[in-house]
Amino acid sequence: MANEPEGASAPDPEAGEPVEILREFREDVSAEFMHGVRRKIDRTATAAHLADFSWSAPGAILFELMQLLRQLFHAFGQSKGPGL
């Protein structure tokens, strides 16, 4: 550090300079590659949605069944008036 000029510091990795250097190496991506990447992302998202649905659907069905039973017991538990 004694040999460095005043005000010089280690390169900041967040400064973005390496990205500027890599910009000249940029190559266009083929449509087939992008299509494959998109398909893989869609498959992953579909699997995640199915896993989420498989966990939440039984709970939702059970909740609806409990509400139905509660309403049935409430409807049949009410008296229809005296003498009926």
Task: Give whole-number Cα distances, 72 to 12, 16, 47, 58, 67, in Å.
Answer: 69, 66, 38, 21, 9
Assigned domain for 45 exists:
yes
Q: How is residue 62 written in tokens? A: 């059970």
Inside any domain, residue 6: no
Domain-located, residue 73: yes
pTM: 0.45
What tens digit of pLDDT does each residue of 31-74 get? 999 999 999 999 999 999 999 989 899 999 999 999 999 999 88
pLDDT of residue 1: 45
State which amino acid sits at residue 43: R
> Of 52 and 78, which is predicted with more confidence?
52
Segment 15-33, tens digit of pLDDT: 666 677 777 777 888 999 9
The confidence score (pLDDT) of residue 23 equals: 75
Q: Structurally, how many domains does the chain consist of?
A: 1
Domain extent at residue 42 = 32-77
Helix (H) or strand (E) holding 8: none
